[in-house]
A and B are shown apart, each in its own frame.
Chain A
Amino acid sequence: MAGMSSKRLQKELVKIQGTLPPGISLVSAPDLKEWQMDISVLDNPLYPPADKYRLRFTFSPSYPIEAPEVVFLAAPDRNIPMHPHIYSNGIICLDLLDSQGWSPVHNVESVCISIQSMLASNTKAERPPGDKEFVRSNRQRPRDINFLYHDPTV
């Protein structure tokens, strides 16, 4: 039903405008379809705490039954963080964002926290294998890509 995502997002927005964990902030939520969030990492030398990374959330009307689409955006003062699971076009390979790993009890805040901790625990400043090829050839939406989770520990 069309109403599910809008009701739920309105309520999430009220909560988010109140308090958010350190390093996570709301940039814009002009409507109930697309939001942007900024995250920074507090204790990993690979990502200086002053650097912020921009995330774009896109919601379908069936959110939260369906996962939101979450990608990093590049902007003049925002880079795509170096990470073996983040392609240079901003697409993130994270199990909780695909339809198998998603659960409707997740929300925008918990997704941000997961991505933040995925960056915080990273030790390799590199792109996923085959990044150039993927970025050049991929025309699929992130949710339709079948990632191989070759490294479940990261």
Chain B
Amino acid sequence: MAHLADALKEQGNKAFKNGDFLEAEDFYTQAVQKFSRNPLLFTNRANARLKLQRWEGAVNDCLKSLEISGKAQNHKAYYFLAQAQLSLHHPNEALSSALTAYEQVRNPAPTTKTSPKDLETFSAFVLKCKKAKFAVRDRERLRRQGDLRAEFENTLELNKQRDLDEVSRDLQAGDLGQVEAYERNQEILTNFENKRAELLTVFALADPSHHKPREIPDHLVDMITFEPMHDPVMTINGHSYERSTIYEHLKRSKTDPLTREPLTIDDLRPNFGLKAACDEFWDSGASDWIIDW
């Protein structure tokens, strides 16, 4: 049965490449029915379901895939799981899945295949989850204080969610094409971000002492991407960078970005002290919102 499943999987992969995610999902489902012990069938179907915005289905597939692969490395399943969890508004769970995926590609098991872009992609996603978690906690705190801004923000968030859910429903009912659904989603998200930014600006102007944006301290920011770090590594001259960005730089030029001295991945050392400072920043009960993520 396994070879039948493989053939169906190939057809699924082809449909996926062509952007026909419904058809891909269907082929993977048929493959699962032939032979359900291949974790890749489930991760591939999870990926198709992510594209179709069937978040719960994607979560189930990832969990099933992880159950089959047991202790073996399965970073794709964790990464897809993290995406589905974030879309379902579980930033804590999403962060923990994303971190597992990140750790697994950072220290891959000898036989596993990883793509050179994985580290960068996963690192960016870890950051996204951290920001989501941070934002939720910030709103929670304000809500407990009975803050008006948090209430408005929540309403915006709920409206956004309602609109997104509607698009998902229409997509699944076939009333909406994939391209159209994607464009709608982008529009909803842009709209939401604009309104939220406006709201925060108004509050910052009205009551600077409570709503003033907070700057991220420079020493926690990666000098290449200008994003806050979560896994800083130090070069021989003592400067630290986010691991995935300095790896990306070293792929093109084996030099220290500041001094131009020769530098390789083996010269980098984890900077535990700075990592602790970054973690502390992420965990600090946000006293203010952060400008311009």
Same complex origin of A and B: yes
Find out whether the CB atom of A104 lies under 8 angstroms from the CB atom of B257.
yes
Residues of A within 8 A of B223 (CB): 104-105
Asked whether any CB of chain A lies closer than 8 Å to the CB of B260, the reply is yes
Residues of B within 8 A of A121 (CB): none
Q: How does the 8 Å CB contact mask read for B114-132 relative to A, with 1 for contact and 0 for none?
A: 0001001100100000000
Q: Which residue in A3, A12, A65, A99 is a CB contact (below 8 Å) of B226?
A: A12
Bound CA–CA A104/B45 (angstroms): 38
Bound CA–CA A8/B86 (angstroms): 24
Bound CA–CA A103/B257 (angstroms): 5
Stretch of B33-41, B151-159, B190-198, B247-255 at the chain-chain interface? B247-255
Bound CA–CA A8/B255 (angstroms): 21
Find out whether the CB atom of B255 lies under 8 angstroms from the CB atom of A65.
no
Which of A4, A64, A65, A66 has the most chain B CB atoms inside 10 A of its CB? A65
Given contact pairs A1-B121, A8-B225, A64-B224, A105 touches B257 in the complex (Cβ within 8 A): yes
Q: Which residue in A1, A10, A99 is a CB contact (below 8 Å) of B292?
A: A10
Find out whether the CB atom of A99 lies under 8 angstroms from the CB atom of B225.
no
Given contact pairs A4-B225, A64-B224, A99 touches B252 in the complex (Cβ within 8 A): yes
Given contact pairs A99-B252, A103-B255, A8 touches B226 in the complex (Cβ within 8 A): yes
B interface residues, how many (CB within 8 angstroms): 19
Residues of A within 8 A of B1 (CB): none
Closest B residue, CB atoms, query A3: B124
Residues of B within 8 A of A3 (CB): 124
Asked whether any CB of chain B lies closer than 8 Å to the CB of A11, the reply is yes
Closest A residue, CB atoms, query B117: A1
Asked whether any CB of chain B lies closer than 8 Å to the CB of A7, the reply is yes
Q: How does the 8 Å CB contact mask read for A5-26 relative to B, with 1 for contact and 0 for none?
A: 0011011101000000000000
Q: What's the nearest-Cβ distance from chain A to residue B55, in Å?
A: 22
Residues of B within 8 A of A4 (CB): 225
Q: What's the nearest-Cβ distance from chain B to residue A35, in Å?
A: 16
Residues of A within 8 A of B258 (CB): 103, 105
Binding site for B on A (CB under 8 A): 1, 3-4, 7-8, 10-12, 14, 64-66, 99-100, 102-105
25 inter-chain pairs at a CB distance below 8 angstroms, sorted by A residue, are A1-B120, A1-B121, A1-B124, A3-B124, A4-B225, A7-B225, A7-B226, A8-B224, A8-B226, A14-B292, A64-B225, A65-B224, A65-B245, A65-B248, A65-B249, A65-B252, A99-B252, A102-B253, A103-B255, A103-B258, A104-B245, A104-B249, A104-B257, A105-B224, A105-B257
